[in-house]
Each structure stands twice: as C-alpha cells, then as structure tokens.
Amino acid sequence: MACLRCGGEMAHAFTENIQLGKTSILLGDWPNIWAGAMRTEVWCCKNCGRLEFFAAEEEGSEDIPQTTCPRCGRSHDFDYPKCPFCGHVY
C-alpha cells in the first residue's frame, strides 16, 4: 500500500482495540464501557511516519475464505478480482 502523503511504502504496525464512547460528568466512565471498542489495524509509512487506521476484521467471523494480497499484504475475500485496499489485479 502506498502512503497518501509521500508515496512511500506503508507497513502494518499493529492491531489495537480503540475505545468508543466518552466520559460524562453524571455517569463517569460508564458510557465508555457501554460503547465498547473497535478493533483497528494501524499502518505506518516507512518514509514519512504517517499513520493510517483501518477497521480490522473480527477473528473467527469469516464466512468466505480469505487470501492475502501479494502487493500490500492485507487479507480479503478470496473471490475479489482485485485487492480492495491497493487495487492489485489478480
């Protein structure tokens, strides 16, 4: 995957849960707990350090077999004619 800022190569940095919701005066941290978290993939440009965030797929929820793109290394449905992330045509 190419960086949108400098065109350099993006590398997968890590996958993290990002907390949803916010703290309120009356309910404290309960809105955070109720809102849950979103599983997120974080990618970093090797050249300029730009970070990009993508929603990660939940483990075990895949109904369609997955394949890994040889260009960007991201996993997607096997039946796609091209990578939905970088556009690589198979």
Residues in CB range of 58: below 8 A, 6 or more apart: 39
Identify the pLDDT of residue 54.
Answer: 92
pLDDT for residue 63 is more than 80 = no
Task: Taking residues 3-27, report their average pLDDT.
Answer: 88
Q: Is 76:41 a contact under the CB 8 Å cutoff?
A: no
Per-residue confidence band for 20, with pLDDT thresholds at 50, 70 and 90: confident
**CA-CA distance, 86 to 65, in Å (whole number)?**
19
Its pTM stands at: 0.56
Task: Taking residues 71-84, report their average pLDDT.
Answer: 84
Angle of CA points 49, 43, 77, to nearest 5°: 155
How many residues are there in the chain?
90
pLDDT (tens digit, 9 = 90+) per residue, 38-48?
889 999 999 99
